[in-house]
Amino acid sequence: MNRFNLPYNLIMEEGVFERVDEVMADCVPGIEKKKVVIVTESMLLEIFSHCLAEIQRDFKESEIYLVEQGSFDTAVTLAKYICMNEITVVIGFGGGKVLDIAKYAAFISKAMYLCLPTTLSNDSLASPVAVLGTQGDNRQTFGCKIPSGIIVDLDVIMTTPEIQLKSGIGDTISKYTALYDWKLDAKHHGKSVNDFAYMISDVALTSLCYHEEKSLKSKSFLKVLTQALVMGGLAMEISGSSRPSSGSEHLFCHSLEENYKEIHIMHGMAVAMGTIPAAVFQKRKHTEKLIHLMKTHKMDINPKSYDITKEIFIGAWQKAKETRRERYTILNETDLSQERLGMIYDKMVEGNYSQLLDYDC
């Protein structure tokens, strides 16, 4: 049985970054006296200078550490700095790149890690993995611990560009096909899925699909999105695998990243785009809420919007299995011919996703 950890707390409030020590005091007595490093990047230091100054004031001894490259080497250098300076608490303040560096560095150095996200673009804020650059443009996923605390300041998140919030929705939507692939893999290998992790991931998806708030910047929606992304991370922690949140749609995203480096699309938008063809491959019919959610929040998953040509689209799907060869998904069982993938591409460009999913292709 996989042993797992859970965060001490998940706090979602307005202005909560001004009292980080206070909200963590019950969980970690004397935290205000511990030696702290706040990991962020120069752009965020400029934008949130007042906020970061308030966080620093909460602790007797604290400093800001700037990172610019989301690489393994950067994380290891930070871990060395943490150890050499006897730092006991690491605070990640930023988006996916910053949070992954801080999370992995804290894991290596055995320091406590607190996650203070400035955006909600994917489920990395609570996941037990860090995606870091290795050589050139290549990236690799490294296992680590989930945060000891997750503190979300809704006033800060309200300033997030809408495309980043849509990306967070996309990362949650992808659980629809990921869960199917997880069960398919378990059946193929004669194993079983972790029912509790499966349930949590499914609840994350359902909570977002059935939330009728239309405004991306409403505080009620931001709370639901935060909870969904955190649940995605917890499902991975409980299962000991990313399978509750990552299936064939993620393989498509990895294939784009690894084989077509000229394409620039946010992770969450890429996996949302991949969810539609993956659902077609899986012959899923009950996708009304999924389509409604994307239309409600005006999520653009038209490949042409990101300069993904038909040739790139077809190539990305045909090469997708190779990105994670150990994973069994619907891609191991479905037709990935140029003709079929070309037809799917044409219908996605037209934007009639419901017709595509109802059509037996």
Q: pLDDT band at residue 1, thresholds of 50, 70 and 90?
A: low
Q: Are 89 and 112 in contact (CB under 8 A)?
A: yes
**What is the pLDDT, as a whole number, of residue 273?**
96
**What is the pLDDT, as a whole number, of residue 134?**
87
**What is the pLDDT, as a whole number, of residue 237?**
95
149-153 vs 89-94, strand pairing mode: unpaired
153 Cβ contact partners less than 8 Å away, ≥ 6 residues apart: 13, 14, 15, 16, 17, 51, 116
Alpha helices in the chain (DSSP H): 20-24, 42-47, 49-57, 72-84, 96-109, 154-157, 162-173, 175-189, 195-209, 219-239, 248-259, 267-281, 288-296, 310-319, 338-350, 353-358
Residue with tokens 């995605």: 232
**What is the pLDDT, as a whole number, of residue 189?**
94
Q: pLDDT band at residue 271, thresholds of 50, 70 and 90?
A: very high
Q: Does pLDDT of 103 surpass 80? A: yes
139-143 vs 129-133, strand pairing mode: antiparallel
**What is the pLDDT, as a whole number, of residue 359?**
61
Q: Are 338 and 290 in contact (CB under 8 A)?
A: no
Task: Quick: pLDDT tens for 188-240.
Answer: 999 999 999 999 999 999 999 988 878 898 999 999 999 999 999 999 999 99
Amino acid at 24: M
Q: Are 210 and 227 in contact (CB under 8 A)?
A: no
Proportion of the chain in helix, strand, coil states, percent, rounded to 5 = 55, 10, 30
